[in-house]
Amino acid sequence: MKITLIHPPEGEREVIAPPSKSMAHRLLICAALADAPMFLRCSASNADIDATIGCLRALGAVIDARDGRFYVEPIDKDIYPDFDTSRTLDCGESGSTLRFLLPVAACLGAGAKFVRRGRLSERPLEPLYGELIRHGAILPDDPSGEPLTLCGKIGAGCYTLAADVSSQFVSGLLMALAMKSSGGESTLTLTGNIESAGYIRMTLAAMERFGCRVKYSDDLRCFEIPGAGYLSPGSLNVEGDWSAAAVALCCGALCGGVTVSGLDPRSLQYDRQIIDILRNFGADTVMTDTGASVRPAPLHGITADMSQTPDLAPAVASVAAFAEGETVLTGVQRLRLKECDRAAAIVEMLTRCGIYAAEYDDRIVIRGGSPTSCELDCRGDHRMVMCGCLLAAGSGGGMTLDGCEAVDKSWPGFFEDMESLGAKFEIVM
């Protein structure tokens, strides 16, 4: 679907942050593994959350959406292991769903076929894949084949993971090994650089809300996982999503001012760092107990490390396109392993708009200016659609974005919320 922005956001406007899909994944999985039913308040869903719900249902959980919340009846863990690979877990394009539920299913002893769509089968599964096999999982030699069939069962033991590829591998193992079906206490040791450490802390916090207290070192290198199971808290809320809010806040730095409510300034989501990044650009930023506001001000180039907040990179690059001088985004290696090669996509988009951008092994260099109207290929990537929308908004409109349906992955109401900020769009096809 192609959409043209014909009028940018304007004036002081407010939008409510959608629920955090990162936290929703974790809380849904813990709820499905708990000892009793519960309600999870989540005001909206998206394609990735729906994928996790569908997979948990395939594993035996009962999940029903009611009035902005999910009612979750846990998986009957006594039926496993059955090694029946006829069940299908359709992960859609959700890397979190696949990487969290592969170890969970292996720990349950639940044989299954994992279906991956889009670019998901190309995204890495090592070193998690090999560690699961070493502890009893039976998986194909080639992890890229479709579907991915799992047999066997893993249990308590000593696990080691290189942590420089994805924090999702770590989170998946932590949630899996905490189940009673793991058979006892486990240890997990991380080696190498720890990527996205904030997301590991989010997982630990989610588990603790279900009475599962993992002991871990301050540097997140060593974990002792009790294997005592999860206790239902009865009900919980899914907090607002800083990753989505970052796009609206970046829009505020370019057009008229935006307030995003429904955010926790003390959240463990690392993407809350967007406030510091925008402040460094020169934008006028304000934090409150329930959200944040950003207003335009003269912007200048900065150097920003994206290694711990890779999902922010497209939005930050869009702001850099309008900032005077040079911006350098470092730690961009993992951008190449997302729904598309986001490092290449950022450079391609900015170049097409008439902005100098260059990609190197570990950084992207952008020289700000005045982006010109054009048609942008968003590569079927939700973050790149939002990046393109920011470029269109900052340039005053006239840009056409191709592949806009991709926003359903994380923020189905994105264009409606942009319209609430004053933007006007026209559907081209």
Architecture of domain 21-229: Alpha-beta prism (3.65)
Q: What is the DSSP string of 44-99?
A: ---HHHHHHHHHHHHTT-EEEEETTEEEEEPP-GGG-----TT-EEE-TT-HHHHH
d(CA 112, CA 94): 17
Token pair in block for residue 34: 């708990």
205 in Cβ contact with 30 (< 8 Å): no
Asked if residue 96 lies in contact with residue 168, where contact means CB atoms within 8 angstroms, the answer is: yes
Q: How many helices (H) and strands (E) does the chain have?
A: 12, 24
Report the SS3 class of residue 38: strand
We find that the CATH architecture of domain 2-17+240-427 is Alpha-beta prism (3.65)
Known catalytic residues are: 311
For residue 59, the cross-strand partners are none
Take residue 230 and report the two structure tokens written for it.
């999860």
Residues 248 and 258: beta-carbon distance below 8 Å: yes
Q: What is the pTM of this model?
A: 0.94
Residue ranges of the chain assigned to CATH 3.65.10.10: 2-17+240-427, 21-229
Nearest to 198 by CA among 285, 124, 267: 267
DSSP-assigned letters across all residues of 390-425: HHHHHTTS--EEE-GGGGGGT-TTHHHHHHHTT-EE
Cα distance between residue 149 and residue 262, in whole Å: 40
Q: Give, in order, the Cα–Cα distances in Å from 126 to each of 44, 55, 135, 265, 344.
A: 32, 21, 14, 34, 23
Structure tokens at 84: 């029946």
pLDDT tens, N- to C-terminus, the chain (429 residues): 899 988 888 878 999 999 999 999 999 999 999 999 999 999 999 999 999 999 999 999 999 988 899 999 999 877 766 667 789 999 999 999 999 999 999 999 999 999 999 999 999 999 999 999 999 999 999 898 889 999 999 999 999 999 999 999 999 999 999 998 888 999 999 999 998 899 999 999 999 999 999 999 999 999 999 999 999 999 999 999 999 999 999 999 999 899 999 999 999 999 999 999 999 999 999 999 999 999 999 999 999 999 999 999 999 999 999 999 999 999 999 999 899 999 999 999 999 999 999 999 999 999 999 999 899 999 999 999 999 999 999 999 889 999 999 999 999 999 999 999 999 998 886
CA 23 to chain centre: 9
Q: Calculate the CA 157 to chain-centre distance.
A: 29
